[in-house]
């Protein structure tokens, strides 16, 4: 179990779409928005864990069409987020969420971004079984438990990242010449992640 958690932490820290998304949200909208985004992303992980545990992810592994549909849906969603970020280019960065409506929006975006990435499903399908003891029985239950442990450490690590990125964002807010370009960078990051997802293979 300790080995599983250690490996999971290393995988979580490694640069990837989710952690980049948390960083950009935290810098541009503040640490609270970043942490809410983390909760959304990890809610998506619950879906992937359940899918892997009960074999649904195997459909994506076996069906090229299903994989392509989900992959392109995810890429389109990321391009949509890039467009929205570009439209905000002239708006001052608030550094804070403005209310429950914004919080719900950040949460939903996190959920959608994670669920619409088929690579996460395939990762869980390949990763979790390596730590399952088939002789202990209840393989699905073991995978769900491992998935929950993975989610817990992800929430912890990503929340720390969100806090530090939020602090960085506040410093940027104090420098208007830099702040006005942040939304351009944010849009560019979303485009790059979307392109990478669109071009990825199983």
- The answer, yes or no, to whether residue 145 has pLDDT greater than 60, is yes
The backbone region for 55, taken as left when phi is positive above 0, alpha when psi lies in -120 to 50, beta otherwise, is left
Structure confidence at residue 81 (pLDDT): 84
Which of helix, strand or coil describes residue 95? coil
Structure confidence at residue 89 (pLDDT): 59
Q: What is the pLDDT of residues 5-20, one digit of tens each?
A: 999 999 999 888 899 9
Place 181 in a pLDDT band, splitting at 50, 70 and 90.
Answer: confident
- The answer, yes or no, to whether residue 191 has pLDDT greater than 70, is yes
The backbone region for 19, taken as left when phi is positive above 0, alpha when psi lies in -120 to 50, beta otherwise, is alpha
54 with 142: CB under 8 angstroms? Answer: no
Which of helix, strand or coil describes residue 63? coil
Six-digit token string for 157: 């690590």
What secondary structure does DSSP assign to 101-140, as a single string?
A: HHHHHHHHHHHHHHHT-HHHHHHHHHHGGGG--GGGS-HH
21 with 37: CB under 8 angstroms? Answer: yes
Regarding predicted confidence, which is higher, 185 or 155? Answer: 155
- The answer, yes or no, to whether residue 131 has pLDDT greater than 60, is yes
Structure confidence at residue 139 (pLDDT): 82
Q: What rounded mean pLDDT belongs to the chain?
A: 84
Residue recorded with tokens 């864990």 = 49
Six-digit token string for 113: 């971004």
Structure confidence at residue 180 (pLDDT): 63
Place 58 in a pLDDT band, splitting at 50, 70 and 90.
Answer: confident
Structure confidence at residue 22 (pLDDT): 95
| pTM reported for the whole predicted model | 0.81
Element (DSSP H or E) covering residue 201: none
């Amino acid at each position: 179990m300790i080995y599983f958690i250690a490996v999971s932490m290393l995988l979580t820290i490694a640069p990837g779409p989710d952690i980049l998304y948390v960083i950009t949200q935290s810098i541009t909208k503040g640490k609270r928005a970043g942490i809410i985004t983390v909760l959304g992303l990890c809610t998506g992980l619950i879906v992937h864990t359940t899918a892997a545990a009960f074999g649904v992810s195997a459909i994506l592994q076996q069906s090229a069409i299903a994989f392509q549909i989900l992959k392109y849906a995810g890429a389109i969603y990321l391009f949509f987020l890039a467009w929205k970020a570009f439209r905000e280019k002239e708006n001052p960065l608030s550094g804070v969420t403005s209310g429950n409506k914004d919080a719900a929006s950040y949460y939903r975006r996190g959920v959608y971004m994670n669920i619409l990435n088929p690579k996460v499903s395939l990762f869980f399908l390949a990763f979790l079984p390596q730590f399952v003891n088939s002789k202990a029985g209840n393989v699905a239950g073991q995978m769900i438990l491992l998935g929950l442990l993975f989610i817990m450490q992800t929430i912890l690590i990503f929340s720390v990242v969100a806090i530090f990125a939020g602090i960085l964002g506040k410093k940027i807010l104090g420098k208007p010449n830099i702040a006005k370009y942040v939304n351009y960078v944010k849009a560019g990051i979303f485009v790059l992640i979307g392109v990478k997802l669109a071009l990825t293979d199983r």
